[in-house]
Amino acid sequence: MILYSTKHASPDVSLEEAVFRGLPPDNGLYMPYEIPTLPQSFFDTIGDLSISEIAFEVAKALLGNDVPESDLKGIIERSINFEAPLVGIEPNKYVLELFHGPSMAFKDFGARFMAALMSYFLQKSHQDIHILVATSGDTGGAVAQGFYNTPGIKVTILYPTGKVSDIQEKQLTTLGGNVTALEVDGTFDDCQSLVKQAFLDKELSSKYNLASANSINISRLIPQSFYYFNAYAQLKKAGVDKPVVFCVPSGNFGNLSAGLIAQRMGLPVKMFVAATNINNIVPNYLASGVYEPRPSQETISNAMDVGNPSNFIRMQLLAGDAYEEVVKHIAGDFSNDDDTRVTMKDVYDKTGYIMCPHTAVAYRGLSSYMAELGEDVTGVLLSTAHYAKFLDVVEGTLGTTVPVPERLSALLSKEKVAIPMSTEFSDFKNYLLQL
């Protein structure tokens, strides 16, 4: 796999270099020159394949000769070893539950695959690396779990103070070991900016081998494509053959970009719906053709509180680049907090299904699109996190107590360990240089 920078001012790189660099020197994003199309025979038999078998075939096609097949199978077996079930909740509407991994969020797919891939490359090169990651909620917990005690890897997680749920905060501040949490006095955008500046700083780059575990890293997107194929496989196995619409709750737009990769590889998708909260920069772009980032606003669907989505350019390129092409593949919708609460309550009252706020945003986006489309399609909405990670919001909205998995409830009694950090890059740089 050969990758280029979206700003076209940095040299092309191999997969290994892209994984460890994270960002090109010109501050673009790495993109593969070629995205292969899978053969029709794969789709003919996909309903008979497990998620790990699907993951192996997709990864093999994307990575080519970068990782030998025997090693790639080992990477898949270590990282994609949990299910992503498709649950029907209403006629023609399905929830793709992506929260059955260790941290109970969809980020487990990307973080665990990335950790296994990095570990494979590090064993070959005998190097150590320091991972920097910004989180608006679930990325931090997934990265902490995925990289915990991985030899040769240190992890520093930056998260905005007061803007993640209690359980999310405990997931990324209680592991210790090779994982350190920095509590930043700002927004997710501030955290993301600090990480990006660190990668571009020559003094830091000369002292450390820095890498990113955010969705700016291409190795995060590759495994996220797996579950789109797996959803289609489950539909096919169930005998559902209507055109498929995926609705993706979106913040940094890595998740939706991964879906577009799957589509480019041949997955039959009628449309993607980008569903956001009031940080609706991309839905506004899809409606007007004008892309205008702005400071993020705090909502109850906090993992999507992103005002300048890092993966926008990837999404744009994968969907055809020109606005006229992008809107052929992606529609947009957004919800405010009142909309989200109403959706959570309505779905629970009608079906008994409990949704986290992000899932509710996706449900509303899918319902709006299907009603407007007026065609007989199958709608699949991505559920990105277990509802119990947002317990106060969920119970307050539903007006009842809800069951909490033991592995999440056990976190609440653990002591948070986090280092306060300002939004000034000089402070963050000094902290890193003193390590």
* CA pair distance 245, 224, nearest whole angstrom: 17
Map residue 159 onto helix, strand or coil: strand
Q: What is the per-residue pLDDT for 408?
A: 86
**CA within 13 Å, CB half, 34:** 10
CB contact at 8 A, 37 and 224:
no
The 8-class DSSP code of residue 363 comes to: H
pLDDT at 136 over 80: no
Q: Is 107 a catalytic residue?
A: yes
Q: Calculate the alpha carbon distances from 128 to 17, 73, 115, 145, 152 in Å.
A: 14, 24, 13, 19, 4
Residue 56 has pLDDT above 80, yes or no: yes
Summarize pLDDT for 364-385 with one digit per residue, the tens.
999 999 999 988 999 999 999 9
pTM of this structure? 0.90
Length of the chain: 435
Report which DSSP code applies to 272: E
Q: With bands split at pLDDT 50, 70 and 90, how would you rate the model's confidence at 142?
A: confident
Query: Among 273, 266, 229, 269, which residue's Cα sits nearest to residue 250?
Result: 273
Q: Where are the beta strands (DSSP E) in 100-228?
A: 129-134, 153-160, 179-184, 210-212
* Residues facing residue 14 across a β-bridge: 2
Residues 66-89: tens digit of each pLDDT = 999 999 999 999 999 999 999 999
Residues 7-55 have pLDDT tens digits of 999 999 999 999 988 889 999 999 999 999 999 999 999 999 999 999 9
**Tokens read off for 128:** 């150590």
**Candidate list 7, 93, 107, 416, residue with the active-site label:** 107
φ, ψ of residue 306 in degrees (nearest 5): -130, 125
Residue 125 pLDDT class (50, 70, 90 cuts):
confident
Contact 282, 290 (CB under 8 A): no
- What's the confidence (pLDDT) of residue 435? 86
